Amino acid sequence: MSFSGSVYKTLQKISGKSNVTRKKEELLCYSYDATGNSFLPEVIIFPGSENEVSQILNLASKQNFIVVPRGAGSGMTGGAVPVNGGLVMVTSRMNKILEINENNFIAKVQPGVIVADLHKKVEEKNLFYPPDPASSSICTIGGNIAECAGGPRAVKYGVTRDYVLGLKAVLPSGKIIQTGVKTAKGVAGYDLTRLIVGSEGTLAIVTEITLKLLAKPAAIKTLAVFFDSMQKAARTVSGIMRETVIPRCVEYLDKASIDLVKDYISFDLPDNIKALLIIELDGYKTQVEKDALDIQKLCFSYNALEVLIAEDKTQSQELWNARKALSPALYKIANNKINEDIVVPVDKIPDMVQITKEIQKTYGLKVVSFGHAGDGNIHCNIMYNKADESEVKKANKAVDKLFQATLDLGGTITGEHGVGITKMKYLPKEIGATQIELMRGIKKVFDPLNILNPGKIFIS
């Protein structure tokens, strides 16, 4: 490592004095992410352009210092945390929506654009960008690309990967590449675009993104469905997913989740409520209204206690506010959480619910589950107190058990949060040694000096 006076001065020259810092209090602000893990960087830089990103990486490769790209730091697995120190490159100044093209249904954006801002701007033009992670009001599109973010609407619309047509990105050497296309289709050469999406900032730093947009759905209907057992809710989810109506969201909340956020909801909740599904449909007005009634009927046939169809946007917003408040509200239960975003085949959700119950019982820890049930993506939060060593041990054992059960059911250890540092040791359980060897080989092709976000995904 080598942030000597001259290297620091060169960085100041590249991005301007006011955009480089090594003050302790500022370093602290960029040391952590949503996992709570914190590692102090040595320098923070806020580049203003692709050209600056290129100059910084070129310098890094010559001086052999580490660069860790960072969006809003809302990641759930430590992807943006500088585990080995070095320079943290924050994309917040590169936050322009460069183009929204209504004729070709594409947007061109810089990585620092806040996802909710993009949603707003495209919707003003009657267009639609589906991916909507719960953190959309703060997270950046660059971070979404790094982790291949999902969100509730992925059930119907897929994840970030499905909307990235092309990228501009800077390699660790400082060289700029342009991948993919600006058109609906394209297969010229290997798919570098989707290789970079989800690579957690370890292959290249993305500087411009071409996104595919859809037409904004004409109507939306939100339903709240209450159950007196998690099993009934889980069976309903797989029942719904077998129908030809694919809702755009099928979220579920267990009893502990409902208790945490019930203050957000003005509806009367049944006394014996144990599970809540939030179902959202979109499409044409008349069709959506008909579908809502069909789904209501179907839910009752699966023994729902009550099915409320939100009457207006305010009622629907109330449900979503409750859902989005969940993640931070968890800290009411315990100081620390391990948040795992496992995915199981949809028809295995009832099994997973049972396993979660058993884990809770075996280890005596509270497990709060909610998430994107429609695609089998469940956020299991294992709550514990970090200061209590025996609880930490139990929490780790609970995670081991949870992941093993997930893999046994044919699932994956991460649906949308990525591997980062928190799942590194579990990755080899899911994917074999040969694949990890291929991935390491690919990493070396992009980053032979291992200066770009090292210490992530793969155990070194």
Q: Does 5 bind a second copy (CB under 8 A)?
A: no
Q: Exactly one of 12, 178, 229, 385 binds a second copy (CB under 8 A); which one? A: 178
Query: Which of 112-120, 256-264, 356-364, 414-422 is the region at the interface with a second copy (rule: CB under 8 A)?
Result: 414-422
Q: Does 219 bind a second copy (CB under 8 A)?
A: no
Q: Does 199 bind a second copy (CB under 8 A)?
A: yes
Q: Exactly one of 18, 266, 314, 434 binds a second copy (CB under 8 A); which one? A: 434
Q: Does 238 bind a second copy (CB under 8 A)?
A: yes
Q: How far is the CB of 6 from a second copy (least distance, A)?
A: 28
Query: Which of 25-33, 87-95, 173-181, 271-279 is the region at the interface with a second copy (rule: CB under 8 A)?
Result: 173-181
Q: Does 432 bind a second copy (CB under 8 A)?
A: yes
Q: Exactly one of 41, 71, 82, 150 binds a second copy (CB under 8 A); which one? A: 150
Q: Does 154 bind a second copy (CB under 8 A)?
A: yes
Q: Does 349 bind a second copy (CB under 8 A)?
A: no
Query: Which of 16-24, 40-48, 225-233, 375-383 is the region at the interface with a second copy (rule: CB under 8 A)?
Result: 375-383
Q: Does 99 bind a second copy (CB under 8 A)?
A: no
SS3 sequence of the chain: CCCCHHHHHHHHHHHCHHHEECCHHHHHHCCECCCCCECCCCEEECCCCHHHHHHHHHHHHHHCCCEEEECCCCCCCCCCCCCCCCEEEECCCCCCEEEEECCCCEEEECCCCEHHHHHHHHHHCCEECCCCCCCCCCCEHHHHHHHCCCCCCHHHHCCHHHHEEEEEEECCCCCEEEEECCCCCCCCCCCHHHHHCCCCCCCCEEEEEEEECEECCCEEEEEEEEECCHHHHHHHHHHHHCCCCCCCEEEEEEHHHHHHHHHHCCCCCCCCCCEEEEEEEEECHHHHHHHHHHHHHHHHHCCCCEEEECCCHHHHHHHHHHHHHHHHHHHHCCCEEEEEEEECCHHHHHHHHHHHHHHHHHHCCCEEEEEEHHHCEEEEEEEECCCCHHHHHHHHHHHHHHHHHHHHCCCECCCCCCCCCCCHHHHHHHCCHHHHHHHHHHHHHHCCCCCECCCCCCCC
Q: Does 390 bind a second copy (CB under 8 A)?
A: no
Q: Does 346 bind a second copy (CB under 8 A)?
A: yes
Q: Does 413 bind a second copy (CB under 8 A)?
A: yes
Q: Does 286 bind a second copy (CB under 8 A)?
A: yes
Q: Does 183 bind a second copy (CB under 8 A)?
A: yes
Q: Does 159 bind a second copy (CB under 8 A)?
A: yes
